[in-house]
Each structure stands twice: as C-alpha cells, then as structure tokens.
Amino acid sequence: MIVKVILGTMQNARKLVSIAESIPCDVELCYGRYVVNAKSMLGVLSMPEFDEGELHVHTDNEKECEKIFFQLLDQNLIMDTGDAVKRSIYDITTFGEILIDFTSQDINEDGQMLYARNPGGAPANVAVAASRLGAHTAFIGKAGKDMHGKFLKSVLEKENVDTKGMLLDENYFTTLAFVEVSETGERTFSFARKPGADTKIQKEEVDVDVLDHTHIFHVGSLSLTDQPARDTTFYAVKRAKNKGSVISYDPNYRASLWPDEATAKKHMRSLVPYVDLMKISDEETELLTDHKDVREAAEALYSQGVKVVAVTLGGEGAYLYSKDGGCVVPGFVVEQIADTNGAGDSFWGGFLYKVSTAEKHLDELTQEDLKEFARFGNAVASLCVEKKGAIPAMPELAQVERRIAK
C-alpha cells in the first residue's frame, strides 16, 4: 500500500508516527531517494522535505490497508491528489437518507386519513432534481431490502440517477416518514426509523469509485442522527474533500429524530468546517448559528469557511452570502401551492446544477453568477410546489427556462 501524506507540522508528524507504530508490519516514509522508518519520530524529522511524502506500508491485506487509510483520513493526513472537476464522472453525488414519504391526501368515508406513497429523503430529492435538469448524478446510501427499498431504487434508476452506490440491507427496514400537509402546504413529520436502514451504512460500504469521481459531493444532516451513519458521513466528506470535490451541505432539523435540541446543534454544526456550499432555511438559522437574523447567520457561516451560503426564505426567494457580500434573490409568484415538500431540495438541486455546469472554479464565481444560480433555483422550486409529492413534482429544464422567461 502506497499513499501520499501531508506533514508540514510537528503535530502531523506525531500523528503519522503514532499510526505507523500501530501497524503490525514495516512502514516507510519516502521522498525521492530518501527512505526512513515511519515508526521513528527521529527518522521522520530527518526527511529533507518535511511538507509531504509517500507512506509505504508493506502488506497486501486489504482489510488492514483499508483500516490504515481510514486512520490517516480521520487525522487529515491524506494529501489532496487532484482536481475533481477534471477527473469527475459525476456532476453531483448525494449521500444520506432515502425513505418513503407517506403524504396525507384525503379522508375516506370512514373518516380515516388516506396517504400516498412517494419516494423521498432530501439527498435523494436533490439528486433527482439535478438529474431532471440534465446533470449526471449519483446517490450513495442504504435502504431496506424490502418492497419500499426496491421501489426507491427503481425510482432513482428511472430518473437516471446512478445507484451503484445504493445498498439494500435485508437486516433493516426502509425508513418511513408520515407527512401531514396543511391547507397552506406546510408539513409536519412523523418517522418510523428505529433503526432505519439509512442509519446503518458503514464506512466500508461506501462506493469509493463513485465518491472519488464526483465534482460536487452533497450531504444532509439526517445521516448525523445515529451511528454508524454519522461516522460514515464524516469519512465520505473528508475523503471527497481530499480528492478535490466541492462539498455541499443542507442541514434539515427534524426534532423527533434527535434526543434533544442541544445534541442536534452539536452534530449538525460539526460538519460546517468542511463545507464549501451550504443551504439552510430561515427557520434553522438560529439552530445552526445562534443568529435569528438571516444576514447575521449567513455571515457567521461564511466566517467558518463556507464559501457560498444560501438561506431560503420560502416564497420570498433566497438570501445569498459570499466573498462579494450578501443579497436577496426574489422568488417567483406561485398561484396555487399544492405541497411544499421538496421545495428546498428542488431549489438546491437547481442551484447545484448551475454550479456544476459553470465553466468556472468555485472561487471565481461572482455575485452576479450566484444570483443567476439562485434565480434558477427559485424557478425550480416554484414549479415543484405546484404539484404534490417531492420527486414526482420535480420539473425538467425546459419548464424552468419557460418560467424564467416569463
């Protein structure tokens, strides 16, 4: 096993030596013709080039190699090996929950609520939204090997979302969400997820052939509620970032899935330092930043390293904040709202689609570029809320272009 590692500091050197010492075989650190024992701090410090090197682990044991790689990745010692835009197969890959939304429809003659089965889960919604617009997307996650899981996988395949990284587990059921929609289109959620298959995805189950070849890697926060999915989320984000992918994050707070609000805050905020693009709703600004004001919240997230922050404002549009400052991008007038489920996901799917097709590096995008992307996302969302269901309501590119042209 050979892997490029980052040094540069005494702290990184200590981390590397500590990992090397735990490996039950010879481990060497190499730079050009120089080779030292990686288990020796003195040897590591004697390297002529201290910023980087190649770690040579003398074993062919795949499980041992995988374990070592995870340790190096967890300590941020893996060197960024390239530009994801140049080597990407997928425009956007999403990771996290995929589930069934049972959405209230009507009341039968006996007074019982009737529900429609719809495919859902925010990351899956984003993948479909972008795919319908023309992006090459993939989904990584887990559902149960049951009627619902098989249905969900078939839906993604029908929507041209690559499902090579989607697993069906016979040991756990697919998560179910019961969604009650009010007359104004607002939603309340109840979950059957104790545990759901989506919470049981392991690091070793992540399809790295997909993960390592994506331009934008998008995650939500529901995968942070339980183990092992929480650790797997961090592993996937760190690996994608080290490979040069743009990291996108859309935290969704579902109170019933957390033991308490303090725990939700802790874990939902923990992902922010790794993020390049972030969407939050105006209802979640205080939870994520301690600031209720959307402008203050966006600035707080930007100060933590997020390059572009989008705060959705419902029908009012979105507030953007980037290196060029902040601005409001107005929404589109919608005559009749049928269902707001998937509105934020469709907005973000549209926004990410525009980022992925822009012929600019993320740092080169101007405020005018981002305003155009947000206006496009607003158009996608305005079409989505006019129909029931999330994935079934996602519009195609021609529909969005017509809405913008009006």
Sign (positive/negative) of CA torsion 208, 214, 217, 222?
negative
Report residue 259: phi and psi, to 5°. -65, -35
Tokens of 132: 């319908």
Which of these, 35, 58, 36, 44, lies nearest to 14 by C-alpha position?
44
Burial of 335 (0-12, 13-18, 19+ CB in 10 A): exposed
pLDDT at residue 340 in the model: 82
Tokens of 72: 């190096």
Sort strands 161-169 and 137-144 into parallel, antiparallel or unpaired.
parallel
In Å, how far from its chain's centre is CA 4?
26
Cβ atoms within 10 Å of 394's Cβ, excluding its own: 27
DSSP annotation string for 115-151 = EEEEEE-HHHHHHHHHHHHT--EEEEEEEESSHHHHH
pLDDT at residue 252 in the model: 92
Tokens of 235: 């592993």
Longest dimension (CA), the chain: 82
Say how far apart CA 215 and CA 89 lie, in whole Å: 8
pLDDT at residue 101 in the model: 85
In Å, how far from its chain's centre is CA 29?
34
H or E element at residue 114: strand 113-120
Burial of 310 (0-12, 13-18, 19+ CB in 10 A): buried
For the sheet with 27-31, list strands across it: 2-6, 52-57, 27-31, 34-37
pLDDT at residue 183 in the model: 63
H or E element at residue 325: strand 325-330
| Contact call for residues 163 and 98 (beta carbons, < 8 A) | no
DSSP annotation string for 153-204 = HHHHHHTTEEEEEEEEETTSBPPEEEEEE-TTS-EEEEEE-TTBGGGG--GG
Mean pLDDT for each 10-residue chunk of the chain (406 residues)?
82 92 91 85 83 83 79 81 61 96 80 84 97 96 97 96 97 90 67 93 94 95 97 96 94 92 96 97 94 96 97 94 97 86 94 94 94 97 89 94 92
Angle between helices 343-357 and 367-384 (to 10 degrees): 140
Residues 6+ apart with CB under 8 A from 274: 237, 238, 241, 247, 249
Say how far apart CA 19 and CA 5 lie, in whole Å: 12
H or E element at residue 352: helix 343-357
3-state secondary structure of 24: coil
H or E element at residue 371: helix 367-384
Q: What's the DSSP call for residue 4?
A: E
- Residue 337, CB half-sphere, CA atoms under 13 Å: how many? 18
Sign (positive/negative) of CA torsion 78, 82, 83, 88?
negative
Which domains occur in the chain, in start order? Answer: 2-79 (3.30.1340.10), 85-97+126-141+157-162+201-405 (3.40.1190.20)
pLDDT at residue 400 in the model: 96
Say how far apart CA 187 and CA 210 lie, in whole Å: 33
